[in-house]
Amino acid sequence: MSLSPVQLRILRAFLRAVALAEPLQSELAASHGISLGDLYAVRVLARLGEMPVSRYGTELGLARSTITNVVDRLERAGLVARAASPSDRRVTLVRLTDTGRDAMEARARFPASDIARRLFALEETDQTALAELLERMLAIRPEPDGAALSDEPEPLLASAEPEAER
């Protein structure tokens, strides 16, 4: 596949921007044994509260096999725990542990990170435009057949208060 100059430029710029998050990623790995993606998964669980693993996967936009691996990894790190549903033995629930709640405090490091300082140095209109573009990009979920699903993006730094069950 041949890329246009604009496609090459956007890929290069995006990958360079992603690399700016590497020090933060390394710090999270060292302090909590998790990645930024794992922290996102922990934040979603903190916001929504205990739920069936299958619903958790749906909330994260992940396939059943993928959410099992994510929960396995988070459980090994001590961030989440599984429990049998008291109302349906076929259902496995996932909940945040105290360690998982502690990991949520890692979000406080974001505003002081190099990537945040660079983003905050942009004019507010540029910050808004960049946020909108990134949210639109994140809302595109490729399907196996190449089609795309659109979904509301989940902000990484939003409140972690549990919502009422839908």
Query: What total number of domains does the chain contain?
Result: 1
pLDDT digits (tens, 9 = 90+) for 99-135: 998 888 777 778 888 889 999 999 999 999 999 999 8
Residue 10 forms part of a structural domain: no
3 assigned to some structural domain: no
pLDDT band at 144 (very low <50, low <70, confident <90, very high): low
| Pairwise CA distance, residues 160 & 47, whole Å | 4
Asked, for residue 5, whether it belongs to a domain, the answer is no
Whether 8 is covered by a domain: the verdict is no
Q: What is the CATH number of the domain that holds 68?
A: 1.10.10.10
Q: Is residue 43 part of a domain?
A: yes
Q: Is 160 a member of any domain?
A: no
Domain assignment of residue 166, yes or no = no
Radius of gyration of the chain measured on its C-alpha atoms: 18
Q: Can you give the pLDDT at residue 143?
A: 60
The residue range of the domain holding 63 is 15-150
Per-residue model confidence as pLDDT tens digits over 24-61: 888 878 877 778 888 889 989 999 999 999 999 999 98
Asked whether residue 161 is domain-assigned, the answer is no
Whether pLDDT at 154 is above 80: no
Which residue(s) pair with 140 in the sheet? 150
With a threshold of 0.85, does the pTM exceed it? no
Return the pLDDT at 117.
93
CA angle 118, 32, 105 (to 5 degrees): 60
How far is 108 from 111, CA to CA, in rounded Å?
7
Amino acid at 83: A
